[in-house]
């Protein structure tokens, strides 16, 4: 027969853990009833703005002032080339400024909710484990969304690295001006914003629909979030 574990938390440490759990509970409550609804509305409005609805991607390209510049781009000065590049670069940077903070925020909130649910998982024992299974399913989906949001960070980093490669190439060959990268970046950033809105809506639904079993997996008396 296995010996019972003699290790246990001291009174002070136990109190600190309880305070941590209460703070997690309050933050999770604010996330579900405050953050998610507001974020869904904000992202919905953001996706309607002109900055994320560029119908004509060719508008990112420069407007040539003479036929000679179209046929012989080497006739342009470096100053003229930089002026034309700035237009598309400003567009991409403005979109990054809007989207990047949303990616970071949602990732941090996912980590918060994952920590909160893990803190609620009860002791493993025989009996009604339906609530625990629901907790595990919610955790599984939260981790999947967190992984996808982390992939968005890679997409944003890729925008910067490709821009750096383009600048390095342009410094050696002044006629090279590939605006297709900027067009692709704008499309990708809009897709990221769409996915962020969808993830927030999914998180709200999955958490609100399974809240009772998530908070009280075995029907125990615990503080209610209602």
pLDDT tens for each residue of 100-127: 899 999 999 999 989 998 888 776 665 5
Q: In this predicted model, which residue has the larger pLDDT, 67 or 134?
A: 134
Task: Tell me the three state secondary structure of residue 10.
Answer: coil
Two structure tokens written together for 113: 């909710």
What's the rounded mean pLDDT across residues 125-142?
73
pTM of the predicted model as reported, rounded to 2 decimal places: 0.70
Q: What is the DSSP letter of 59?
A: G
Q: What is the pLDDT of residue 135?
A: 81
Would you tell me the crossing angle of helices 180-209 and 78-120 to the nearest 10 degrees? 20
Query: CATH number of 24-215: 1.20.120.180, 3.30.360.10, 2.60.120.560, 1.10.10.10?
Result: 1.20.120.180
Segments making up each domain of the chain, as ranges:
24-215
The pLDDT > 70 percentage for the chain reads 62
Q: What is the pLDDT of residue 194?
A: 93
For the chain, where are the E strands, in sequence order? none
Would you tell me the crossing angle of helices 78-120 and 11-30 to the nearest 10 degrees? 120
Q: What is the pLDDT of residue 198?
A: 94
- Check if the beta carbon of residue 200 is closer than 8 Å to that of residue 34: no
Question: Nearest Cα to 109, choosing from 157, 39, 43?
Answer: 39
């Amino acid at each position: 027969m296995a010996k019972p574990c003699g290790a246990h938390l001291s009174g002070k440490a136990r109190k600190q853990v309880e305070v941590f759990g209460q703070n997690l509970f309050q933050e999770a409550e604010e996330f579900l009833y405050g953050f998610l609804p507001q974020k869904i509305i904000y992202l919905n409005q953001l996706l309607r703005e002109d900055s994320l609805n560029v119908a004509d991607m060719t508008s990112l390209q420069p407007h040539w002032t003479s036929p000679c510049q179209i046929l012989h781009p080497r006739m342009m000065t470096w100053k003229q080339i930089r002026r034309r590049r700035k237009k598309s670069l400003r567009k991409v940077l403005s979109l990054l400024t809007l989207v990047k903070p949303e990616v970071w925020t949602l990732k941090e909130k996912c980590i918060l909710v994952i920590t909160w649910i893990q803190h609620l998982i009860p002791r493993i024992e025989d009996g009604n484990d339906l609530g625990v299974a629901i907790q595990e399913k919610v955790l599984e989906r939260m981790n999947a969304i967190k992984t996808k949001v982390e992939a968005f960070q890679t997409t944003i980093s890729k925008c910067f690295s490709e821009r750096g490669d383009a600048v390095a190439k342009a410094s050696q060959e002044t006629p090279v001006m590939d605006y297709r990268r900027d067009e692709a970046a704008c499309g990708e950033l809009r897709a990221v914003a769409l996915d962020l809105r969808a993830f927030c809506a999914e998180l709200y639904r999955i958490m609100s629909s399974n809240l009772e079993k998530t908070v009280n997996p075995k029907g125990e008396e615990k503080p209610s979030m209602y």
